[in-house]
Structure 1
Amino acid sequence: MEKTKFLKQIKGNLIVSCQALEDEPLHGSCIMAKMAFAATIGGAAAIRANGYQDIIAIKQETNLPIIGLVKRDYPDSSIYITPTQKEIDELLKANADMIAIDATHRKRPNGEEIQRLINYIKKHDKLVMADISTVEEGLAAVELGADCISTTLSGYTEETQRLSTGPDLELVKALCQKTEVPVIAEGRIKSPQEALVLLKNGAHSVVVGSAITRPQNITESFTEVLKTI
């Protein structure tokens, strides 16, 4: 999808992350495809999805643009989201509209370099979402050519582990003040009210996953409150 059209479609809107790992109850491409279809009916502007099979299945259920990623562990790196060219090739084969890639400053597997990977994605006429955890990483990703930056990894790196609850509003605000590249708010957004606050503070759009697509987490949020009575 053309960059201007994609960014216009998601501006001020909701991106739903439809992902379930192998140890989760809803794991399976057919289930994620139906989840994406439900999100489409609910008004989502785009879908964020993990892996070739899920993306192919989701494309059969919805015409929404797909932000693709591949989560894969490597023994020599803590980077987990689209770590190497191998994962990018899988996403290119699946024809994801945008590719999300970990753009933190951590060491990549196999000595891969983030600049080369971003160049490789753009060479294949795909958009790049840079998942970051700090202001410095976000601004560096802009310099490397990312089409948008997402706060996905705030709270999930050694530098940001102190952030364990709630969306990182301060990171969103700081990035919006320092760059004109669209900032996507993602991570620990639990309610429509939190999503609205992020948009009002400059976020181009918001990504919500667990609060919509992980019923085990949603159920736990209810049961934990009820235990307090």
Structure 2
Amino acid sequence: MNKDLIQALSGGLIVSCQAYAGEPLYGSDTMAKLAVAAREGGAVGIRANSPADIAAIKESLALPIIGIWKARYDDSQVYITPTYKEAIAVAEAGADIIAIDATSRRRPGGESLADIVKLLRSEYPHCLLMADVSTLDEGLQAEVMGFDIISTTLSGYTEYSPQQKEPDFNLVEELARRATIPVFAEGRIQSPEQACQCLLLGAHAVVIGSAITRPEAITKKFVDGLTQRPELVGKE
């Protein structure tokens, strides 16, 4: 494990800079600028989606990058770096950490997660591997497989994990207590207070995306709040 890289992220904020086709901020140049802005605000790392975005961000700043590549396959619900093909593309683009869906769901083409980990260890030993999980059992199994980091990213995104609006504090706490590798808290973290709570529960670092880098979602949150108070709308 790259202990220096892990230490550099300790107690810090990692900002997820992602946008989808059709959204106003979509595009690698925009994502790179967003990543630079996050660095200026004190982020210690960036999470980015797709080889193009990873490469553009890598050229723009020196922070560690957690790379993913979201891809949909008809035969699987797994979409975060679902196959070995996406994983090696992420590595080749310059990611320092490769994040992979490590849930127990069937992978596209019936690929084995353990085999993907073994191949990446052999071909890209300089990259750390992060397991995006949704449950305690998945996290502990990921450690056995050889992942370097566990992240709570997918809690609430599998049908068998807690469906809640708040961060999965219980999962963060249990993983931090039982795993011997670093645990990153990610998913539905909406405030500095919630981020601090994750660190207090044992998270090594906190990853936040939508609450920082998706202005349409942030704007909607405010608009929804205003519409719930109709007497204030239009008041000067």
TM-score range, shorter chain: over 0.9
Question: Is the contact between residue 20 and residue 28 of structure 1 (CA under 8 Å) also seen in structure 2?
Answer: yes
Question: Is the contact between residue 70 and residue 80 of structure 2 (CA under 8 Å) also seen in structure 1?
Answer: yes
Which residue is equivalent to 1:209? 209
**CA distance in 2: counterparts of 1:89 and 1:174, whole angstroms:** 31
**CA distance in 2: counterparts of 1:79 and 1:26, whole angstroms:** 25
Which residue is equivalent to 1:165? 165
Provide TM-score, normalisation by structure 1. 0.97
**CA distance in 1: counterparts of 2:204 and 2:129, whole angstroms:** 15
Q: Deviations over 1:100-149 (max 9, x none)?
A: 00000000001110001111222211110000000000000000001010
Whichever of the two has the greater Rg, that structure is: 2
**CA distance in 2: counterparts of 1:40 and 1:149, whole angstroms:** 23
TM-fit CA distance, 1:57: 0.7
Which residue is equivalent to 1:143? 144
Question: Is the contact between residue 68 and residue 96 of structure 1 (CA under 8 Å) also seen in structure 2?
Answer: yes
Which residue is equivalent to 1:181? 181
**CA distance in 2: counterparts of 1:27 and 1:210, whole angstroms:** 14
Q: Deviations over 1:127-174 (max 9, x none)?
A: 1000000000000000000101000000000102x4230110000011
Secondary structure in structure 1 of the residue aligned to 2:216: helix
Q: Quick one: which amino acid aligns to residue 197 of structure 1?
A: Q
Gaps of 5+ in 2: 230-236
Matched, 1:192 2:192: yes
| Residues 11-30 of structure 1: pairs in structure 2 closer than 5 A | 11-30=10-29
What's the RMSD between the two structures over aligned residues?
0.9
Which residue is equivalent to 2:233? none
Higher mean alpha-carbon deviation, 102-111 vs 15-24, is at: 15-24
Q: Deviations over 1:76-116 (max 9, x none)?
A: 00000001111012112102101000000000001110001
**CA distance in 2: counterparts of 1:83 and 1:137, whole angstroms:** 16
Could you tell me the percent identity over the aligned residues? 51
User: How many residues of Structure 1 are paired with residues of Structure 2 in the alignment?
Assistant: 227
Which residue is equivalent to 2:121? 122
Gaps of 5+ in 1: none
Which residue is equivalent to 1:92? 91
Question: Is the contact between residue 58 and residue 94 of structure 2 (CA under 8 Å) also seen in structure 1?
Answer: no
Question: Is the contact between residue 165 and residue 188 of structure 1 (CA under 8 Å) also seen in structure 2?
Answer: yes
Q: Quick one: which amino acid aligns to residue 71 of structure 1?
A: K
Question: Is the contact between residue 121 and residue 127 of structure 1 (CA under 8 Å) also seen in structure 2?
Answer: no
**CA distance in 1: counterparts of 2:52 and 2:212, whole angstroms:** 21
TM superposition outliers: structure 1 runs of 4+ over 4 Å: none
Q: Deviations over 1:30-54 (max 9, x none)?
A: 0000000000111111100001110
